[in-house]
Chains A and B, each alone.
Chain A
């Protein structure tokens, strides 16, 4: 395996992004910008019932409305597509079944609902019309005969005996379940000096990129070629779904991902299959551009878990045992099965040396939108739980949280640390590299933790409540199974990189060019990187779960290295040079022993053409697939300083420090940008974002004035420091960094709030910490304090 040279020319530099030019001039091509002759617009007719039996759909009036080309129902689609029942990344490693009793039950999921609907927003029919305005007009004319049924909106009620069963195959509504056990948690809990029990509630949130979803499909009947454009994170996976469901040969399908306005989770959607099916049925290009109201209801949601946790510890704050029961309100379908909760179980112990763990998790079906892993993906939830517990333990034993953390962090000498369980991929969970105590210290130094207490005291005297909060996390990144890349030199002597990744703003056109540039010694500006198109490579993984720096980066590195070998082989023949003497230098191949002898890439390309008399194989292209041995563990420590106004119950985040450890840093500017964006997302989760259903199952936050994303005034400046422990698990030594920002931020912010309002100890166990929740928690804490009797002379909040 080729190892990165420690001295790199392009990797590690802040290269300005190559994709910027078209984006800053408004010439990006997003899904809504693609023009095709004869393109018709689709509007989905969606359920207004959380749960109902559908007796009939009358599309007659809609079909006669102005500009309508057709109205398709589930019955129409059944002619061309199978149901939508396949599970994502459904390969379940048998070790999870044998070790943890992992159970996943099947269910039937339609593309368009037919005889019943299981959630508000479930798509039932498609109006295809000349434009979206007319399609929406006609959609209102579809008449649905529905018999509303009681809706399950509470997962605990859904698990009760006698509760309605949503899917016949899942009696009791527990779709997926496992129990992880490490060590002997019961024994360790009994041995602990003290135990703390809490329930944590992380409410439902939405990935909500600024661009909504969109799909264009064009089926050319004469050649039976289907082209689908979709702002998907996984084009190859989408192609494989379409092939299976539409029963078309895989090679007859091309999935193209255009420029993409962000994406933070999602998966493959029934709408994508429906639009493709409509193209096949109608034999004309069709387009669905989702609007924001649709997206808030129908893009998959996330988080929405309860954690009933008990933690055992000694009087000096040493953690001994952790026992958690997780319930995930998983909505009407659960295509991601246990990804969220297994991530939570895998990351719950955080950076701490806890040898005894039990996590029991259940995904419960209800009449809501299903869940997907969204930025942070179970780790955010687990980190919130663990780090709030640390804070509570600190208060209980009378020590500073920083001290509790230092006491429990896995020391550098103990790395790599086998955590005694299997990861979701069936491999042993091992924290492969890092120095967590040094990371914490770096964060404490950067925020000025020691001086803060004096600042805090002064502020109190002036009537201001400031607080400081710490959170750390680990992140298993670079998930497999693989990623692919091809690197080629074309007839003009230019380098092109083809990659199976599917970036949504992470700068792959730049970063992957930097990786390739280091191997071939060509300036990155001259390297064209193409991604997100199934025509580029036969296999591709996509971009999600902080995987692309690891998988795409290394695939490009390996492919470029193979190409370099080919270049040297061919150049050696052409120049009649000893291959061992050939080096790549500024876009040329040079004979180090005879500097007069060299070839430009253009000359090489000519020489490498077939029929040019080479004994070596023709062509200047190499392909490589990187198969990560397992995930590699990145980590981070965050510290937030907040101000609380106890009367308004407002929280302002004033200062923020991130120490991020992601191994080799490919482009520092891009890594920091990912941290900034992740922290902003986490601040949103901490204080603002909440996707709500009422008791009857109606969705109540379907506008951007109800579902609140943080704006520029809600996010402070974020100082990012790098720590670097190159991963031993890949040639570049990289680890993922896309989600760390969103993983520790809710915990850091809420811990800071808890610190600001001491000596009051409000129960801050819920996200988001809205003003009403904070207000109520403070009032209850004051009540509890009064009951205990005031003892402190300090000014009380």
Chain B
């Protein structure tokens, strides 16, 4: 049979096509518009100590594996090019070499040494992050995962909120980190805000603990990372890192009971006479359901439905009217309210600042 060789012209053509595709892809990607919020979800843009330790360790690991890659890649390319068969070889076999104990030892011992170095660097960071003691000034938050939203409680401050976490910025000189206890009300979830920390899972009957000490203010984004059901994709996270005064005033506002607005009595009645109270709580009113998010300060949040939609009048109305229009598979049922009742309830919701 014919022994097909790669013609050098074919090789060149293929190499050129591949390179062209690669650079176009890169160019396309670079022109991608980045989001408008101040922070993204880039592992290599850490804003907090755990994320920074991880980013530094990642660079270290990448450098080592990168060197290994370059060395072995070079050996591979060299052997494929230097030892390619030529037409003049036909019928003759090369020297049959069966092995070499020294070489085998060398390429066993060197990898073992690399593993030792990698492991020591790794173990250090594992302990630094996981076994960090909780200082006196820490903010404590209990995060409870639900299908498909986040419940946040600040036990010492008497606050209950949902989906959008507010934590104080931490000054490295006088650290005020936030320690989260992670629980779940139903299945497994995972709290992942890449620029603040690595992810930790929320597992029922298995409390977990994580911490972060953000050193810049701003809004940090993330989302649930452990598949939890139909709307896993829309269980988003917004973490607002506030300066000390901002955080204090947020806390005070959240600690107040619900605003009593005389103009919203009709809506309040609709809310309390339908099944809304069974799932939702509004502090200072008879509504104390725990199955859904606490609505006491709903209007202090930028989004609804765990980030699935912006907190606007129209979205709110649509959500209450038919949650599956925004988040199909959400566990909130459509309450089948009349238009009048719907408008009243939305007005009531909009008073809950």
A and B together in one complex: no
